[in-house]
Amino acid sequence: MRVYLFVFDQVFNRFCGDTLGSTVRHLYGELAINHQLSISSPSAHLRDFVSHYWLSYNNSDEDYSVLPDGSVDIVMKVSGGLSQDLIYGSTTARNDIPLEIASHYLGISFKPGKSRHFVSAAASELTNTNEPAKDLLKFDLHDTHEHIESDDVFLKLNNILEQHLKKYQPVNSRIDDVIRNIELSSGTASIADSAVIFCKSKRHFERVFKETVGISAKLYSQIVRFRRASALISSTALPLARIATELGYADQSHMSHEFRRFTNISPAEYA
The string of pLDDT tens digits covering residues 152-202 is 999 999 999 999 999 999 999 999 999 999 999 999 999 999 999 999 999
- The rounded distance, in Å, linking the Cα atoms of 138 and 221 is 29
pLDDT at 82 over 80: yes
- The rounded distance, in Å, linking the Cα atoms of 175 and 154 is 28
- At residue 263's C-alpha, the angle toward residues 210 and 193, to 5°, is 35
Containing H/E element for 42?
Answer: none
pLDDT number for residue 191:
95
Which residue intervals of the chain are DSSP H helices? Answer: 9-15, 17-28, 153-167, 174-184, 191-198, 202-213, 217-235, 240-246, 252-263, 267-270
pLDDT at 4 over 60: no
pLDDT of 11-53, one tens digit each? 333 333 333 443 343 344 333 333 477 899 999 999 999 999 9
End-to-end CA distance of the chain: 22
Measure CA 40 to chain center: 14
pLDDT at 99 over 60: yes
Measure CA 192 to chain center: 25
